[in-house]
Structure 1
């Protein structure tokens, strides 16, 4: 009990400070506070879509893939090109997701499969892959800034209290993130495939001895994680924009989300994305000069008081 008390006191104090900050924000400017809250939730949804794939690869499979941000950007660029050629946003979404998934599958089969358990080699090779992919994308698509046009039925505004209306597409992104999060949780915790993934991480030799093709299971998991990055790229290109450097931004965001929420946990990734998204938007709204400080303050606090993450090793 004596070891748990300081953590309980810390979480209680953080909760009280958060409630006090919310009350002060609503009292000072309710419209700005509500709009910032909604923007933070939708940004957290985007971060979760990208970070959930990173959680599958890094947290569950123990593969240090620092090219995950490049898969996000690749999905965005491919989706944009297909969308411009076909005029279909849904086709662009499918193309971006598949392009990232197939690239991730190739990376797993051709590279990471041959260096399982060698974290340093994986890290260095994935950094090299990210640089190569970034240069190839810069060569092919140039340094211009691109943006998707969402379908007309997604471009309206939805009535909201206090702020009057809010973009429909952003609300749909939040709903999609919740749905994908539930599907991933069910996949990992309520299906035979999820059982094989977790068993393969804990004891690969035993799973292989039971007749399961471990390499096939890991390749499929890596493809799903990469596909989620590509999916996030198309959605991010619609909500925000596509430009060189976005790969580094979303890789860094995914790392922070996984570390704060807890490695290997979809639930932890959701909590981490929520905290990082809200910290970033509220920081930019109320302290624009020091907005980025809030994000890294969360990272420092997590590493100092909860190094295993908020959820820890739970799945």
Structure 2
């Protein structure tokens, strides 16, 4: 089918009517919230525990492949569906994070950042090879649950998938849950105190090693959850965690290292800039996020918010 183009061979920007604008706003919100779900785990590990975890994107990939590989096993064993797969995947993610912290990351807290980078990069290679051996290198798709497979009408000609709204709802629920835990519970108080002064917390009789394992397991579970709920939206493919890792670090830097609310605001800003950039300025869309980061760091070198 022939496609209309300008004299320079480039497509004209699409007309932005109300329905299209609303759809792009929903896309930006869903993308930003999903990015927050990944980056919040990274800012927990990086900001509170002081570990540069390059393998965090691999946890996102593991979550997506869990959604693909566990679904037939859960259906055959328990007769469950997508939500049962999510629940089982989260349990496995917490166990994975706890074991990884005990076996590897617990030795990195007093090490130099270069050693942290080298070890976590090695974990990326291990996870990628394990993925290749267990699942293969093909691209896979994951179907959304039948309950959420429909669409909602937006205007006379356009519709929006219900599952994307579900993803946004899950991310918002997690964000509210994290806010409650960190500001209203004893666990949140211990985590914040441990990030500020580890020696003082230990002197008060709190098991800081166990506390850090809980934080790391939670960070891994958040990334895995993001991968599992994102799998029906985007296909499951090798190396899918690499680009997410880069953007997650951008979110952490913009929002402020260790700040959950900063990660949320930064992720939403990136979602808006990236989504509308691809629609309105497709030639420059690849750099707009990094321009945003540079501008914010010129204004606030430590990020939007401090840890907390």
The reply to whether TM is greater than 0.5 is yes
Deviation at 1:161, TM superposition (A): 5.6
Structure 1 residue corresponding to 2:198, chosen from 191, 200, 204: 204
Structure 2 residue corresponding to 1:153, chosen from 147, 152, 163: 147
After alignment, is 229-238 or 142-151 more displaced?
Answer: 142-151
Return the TM-score normalized by structure 1. 0.86
C-alpha distance in structure 2 between counterparts of 1:305 and 1:232, whole Å: 30
Deviation at 1:276, TM superposition (A): 1.0
C-alpha distance in structure 2 between counterparts of 1:152 and 1:277, whole Å: 27
Structure 2 residue corresponding to 1:37, chosen from 17, 25, 38: 25
Please say if 1:94 is aligned against 2:82.
Answer: no
C-alpha distance in structure 2 between counterparts of 1:272 and 1:113, whole Å: 29
Please say if 1:113 is aligned against 2:113.
Answer: no
Structure 2 residue corresponding to 1:125, chosen from 104, 119, 128: 119
Instruction: Indicate the residue corresponding to 1:303 in structure 2.
Output: 297
Instruction: Indicate the residue corresponding to 1:82 in structure 2.
Output: 70
Which consecutive residues of structure 1, in runs of 5 or more, have no partner in the other structure? Answer: 1-24
Please say if 1:273 is aligned against 2:261.
Answer: no
Deviation at 1:272, TM superposition (A): 0.8
Q: Kindly indicate which of the two structures has a greater share of residues assigned to helix.
A: 1
Kindly provide the CA deviation profile for residues 104-142 of structure 1, in whole angstroms up to 9, marking residues without a partner as x. 222211111112132222122111111211121122211
After alignment, is 53-62 or 86-95 more displaced?
Answer: 86-95
Instruction: Indicate the residue corresponding to 1:144 in structure 2.
Output: 138
Instruction: Indicate the residue corresponding to 1:235 in structure 2.
Output: 229
C-alpha distance in structure 2 between counterparts of 1:300 and 1:95, whole Å: 40
Return the TM-score normalized by structure 2. 0.88
Query: Contact between 2:51 and 2:108, CA under 8 Å: does it hold in 1?
Result: no
Query: Contact between 2:37 and 2:171, CA under 8 Å: does it hold in 1?
Result: yes
Query: Contact between 2:36 and 2:263, CA under 8 Å: does it hold in 1?
Result: yes
Query: Contact between 1:34 and 1:162, CA under 8 Å: does it hold in 2?
Result: no
Structure 1 residue corresponding to 2:59, chosen from 71, 95, 100: 71
Instruction: Indicate the residue corresponding to 2:3 in structure 1.
Output: none
Deviation at 1:27, TM superposition (A): 8.5
Query: Contact between 2:45 and 2:51, CA under 8 Å: does it hold in 1?
Result: yes
Aligned residues: 290
Deviation at 1:39, TM superposition (A): 0.8
C-alpha distance in structure 2 between counterparts of 1:142 and 1:284, whole Å: 31
Report 1 or 2 for greater relative contact order, CA contacts < 8 Å, sequence distance ≥ 6: 2
After alignment, is 241-250 or 222-231 more displaced?
Answer: 241-250
* 3-state SS, counterpart of residue 236 of structure 2: coil
Deviation at 1:178, TM superposition (A): 1.1
Please say if 1:187 is aligned against 2:181.
Answer: yes
Please say if 1:62 is aligned against 2:56.
Answer: no
Please say if 1:262 is aligned against 2:253.
Answer: no
Query: Contact between 1:98 and 1:230, CA under 8 Å: does it hold in 2?
Result: no
Deviation at 1:158, TM superposition (A): 2.5
Which consecutive residues of structure 2, in runs of 5 or more, have no partner in the other structure? Answer: 1-12, 76-80
Query: Contact between 1:154 and 1:169, CA under 8 Å: does it hold in 2?
Result: yes
Deviation at 1:148, TM superposition (A): 1.5
